[in-house]
Structure 1
Amino acid sequence: MRVVTPLPLRRFGGPRTSTAVLVAALLAATLTSCADGSKAGDKSAAHVTLGLTYIPNIQFAPFYVAEEKGYYKDAGLQVTLHHHTASDDLFGGLKAGREDLVLAGGDEMLQGRASSVPVVDVMTVYKRYPVALLVPGESPLHAASDLRGRTIGVPGPYGETYFGLLALMAEAGLTTKDVTIKSIGYTQQAALTAHRVDGVMGFVNNDQINFEQAGLDVRAIDLAGESSAASLVSSGLGASESFLAKRPGDVRKFVQATLRGVEFTLAHPKEAVELSRSYIPGLTDAKSQALAQKVLKASAPLIRGSGGQLGKNDPQTWLRMAGFLKDKGLIQKEVPAGKAYSNDYLPKE
């Protein structure tokens, strides 16, 4: 992670330990006052604060679009987009009441509930899990079953890249004893090109694009997806049970306005990048904007998934994930999956 980039470097669930990450977070805190805080608006509007768990970045385009296009204002809301820093507790703002909603992985929300954080996913953002195993184009690895005896790089034993690796191995009946898992921080390119690992877990709408931009030939070995017994739920909007009880109408308005932002971003990625420029330092030249458009294009199939209503949580995926996380020791107690999400705040189909 480098100083404010247009690529979506958000790693769900893990601390960012590199010096570059800390520099980026500190720089973002000084450069992004326009992206962190409410814009002047109708004082009678209901105020809602959303925690965005990374520095300003093109991955948050649907939220920037919803603000810039006036979708939140149309819904009677005044919205603060609060970007987290590297040291922020993922659910700290939610627990302290400083944030009303937070963008987090569904897997992280289930972990939170296992740790007595009563968070509920009210709208999924990525219907398809965004990570894959990235290997060189000439690699003999072609499927999860080829991983036995290999060395795989992950940033660390946390977050979506690590969860995704466990799910990929589970598909082939492998365990952590069958492979060597190497913590490499956020040095995927260097580790792979120097042959320190046989493959790296990365984001298909970020890391794979980075490899390609660098002129490196890589292939993605994807997870089986929504039908897998090791299904995982990616990023979504989480709200506390107490906030849902107090302000269900505002949550419904926020979700519906955000979905308008999602739909606009999917339909008009170039315009979405333009609308995001005032929020993202560095998104100023043609090269960075073209790269941001590639990220949005690669994100579109993740958002749409296999079809159906945008934002809708799939009950069976949540149920399978709860069992998988418990089986792998990622949560220490049984967590009723049905209480961890709700589709009640989505527009009626």
Structure 2
Amino acid sequence: MWNVLVGGLTAEVWEHYPRPEPDTVLPTARPAAGIERLSFDTASGTLRREGTAAADLRSPQYLEPHPTLPVLYAAEFAHSARLVAYDTAPDGALTPRAAVASLGTMAAAVAVHPSGSHAYVGHLVDGVLAAVALGPDGSPGRVEAVAPAAGASLHHLRVTPDGTALLVTDFGRDELCVHRLDGDGALSGEPTRIRFPAGSRPRHLELDPSGRAVYVVGESDGALYVLDAGGHVPTAIRSVQEIAPGGSPSELHLHPEGGTLFVGVRKADLIASFAVDGAGGARLRATVPSGGSSPRTLAVHPGGRHLLVGNWHSNELALFGIDGAHRLHPMSVPVLLPSPSSLVFTRR
């Protein structure tokens, strides 16, 4: 048995932040109460909503677990954003641990160093990148902010598995930034920047386990970018592929076995599957309906047999089975859930 923790946008976000394109197409997403908790039986494929796990925060639209401790971090998509830490019980219940101001506006993502020494928070509106020192128990402490470049708008962050670099998509400047990290996980020196086509709006990224490729989706141009990399650090764009005409990609995740990349595509309401070879090759294999409207988030279960999709405008989670050839097939009736924006699996 597993838990699924789901972050979403709470009601006050629309009071001070207009819905950005492409989310204005069908503005039907209902406000979330905070972080929702569901139980997931992988043997039977049963997904059941258990209730609100945390309601004492503003728009926890991105969640990230600590690499070794039962601690969950939530980035608040809010003015005067915070990084909020929760203790996670075996049944998925959350207990507030601590919160710190992340020194930016509208936190869009958080990543945690493999050693657990730091969390990094990227902000969409003002482009601030914050490094938050974490204590031995996972509590957030000292926060240091990097002055943003003009026009920066950060959307996603990933730390390389060896902990030597932080990769950041800059949605506003059409760049992928590579920040070097020292032995303690602190930001070190000026970042290197990989330019994307103007107006492509690089949104989310994924690392191939081979270390030789990084995958990035462009929100506005509907493309999958494959970047050459060494040790998971990207060096240059290798290829560009259209995913679905008129679509707007959101998140992307690799199957745990590798070989298949799943991409959520809003506007087209599809999940695209790419065959990837770990050396920079990528080929569109299939597309299937997302099981709802506007697939904003998706996650492959660690066991590799299920994909969960958060359809934002239709306010529901859709469950797909994954067969031995990594093909998707829908399972059961979607679970109603307001504004699903981020998914995390934890084991019971």
Relative to the length of structure 1, the TM-score reads 0.27
- Structure with a larger share of its residues in helix: 1
Rg larger in structure: 1
- Structure with a larger share of its residues in strand: 2
Q: Which has the higher contact order (CA 8 A, sep 6+)?
A: 1
